[in-house]
Amino acid sequence: MRKIIGILVFFVVCSCNTQNEMKNIKDNLLYEDSKGSVYLKREIDIMSEKNSQIDQSRFFNLVRYKDSTYLLKDLVDVKSFHFVKSVTDTISINKSDIFEDKKYIYRFQHLPPTSPEIKATDK
């Protein structure tokens, strides 16, 4: 019985170590995983029963552009990508962050939640 438990623990530990590690590629904003996918890292508000608001880091790689969904790596120019500003509209409870690169303006929508959270438009 101990051997079986030992083997199970070994497999659990080994499988936990195979997670994709994220590498910062631009100003703690853009990250890349071992497969070459690019992600936007954002702190988002998580509501829970115990805490009214918890900020947690999440990685997003889907972008809505011209009524289609793309991977962020297919649109973003990493070298010119940068943060522009945060926008909060307290009347309609909208919260978003604006980024841009040489071709696109990106709006990350915190509130209200949308899918995908990143919307791109031409400059």
DSSP 48-74: -SS-S-EEEEEEE-EEEETTEEEEHHH
8: three-class secondary structure by DSSP:
helix
**Inside any domain, residue 7:** no
Question: Total domain count for the chain?
Answer: 1
Host domain of residue 31:
20-122
Between 38 and 88, residue with greater pLDDT: 38
**Inside any domain, residue 99:** yes
Q: What is the pLDDT of residue 122?
A: 98
Nearest Cα to Cα of residue 43 among 100, 102, 111, 120: 111
**Inside any domain, residue 81:** yes
**Inside any domain, residue 54:** yes
**Inside any domain, residue 1:** no
**Inside any domain, residue 12:** no
**Inside any domain, residue 9:** no
**Inside any domain, residue 29:** yes
Structure tokens at 67: 């009524």
Is residue 6 pLDDT above 80, yes or no? no
Each residue's pLDDT tens digit, 41-94: 998 766 655 655 667 889 999 999 999 999 999 999 999 999 999 998 877 678
| Beta strand segments in the chain, E | 23-26, 30-32, 38-46, 54-60, 62-65, 68-71, 82-89, 94-100, 104-111, 118-122
Q: In what order do the strands lie in the sheet with 68-71?
A: 68-71, 62-65, 118-122, 104-111, 94-100, 82-89
Q: How many CB atoms lie within 10 A of CB 119?
A: 16
Q: What is the pLDDT of residue 52?
A: 58
Q: What is the pLDDT of residue 80?
A: 98
What pTM does this model have?
0.77
Q: What is the pLDDT of residue 91?
A: 72
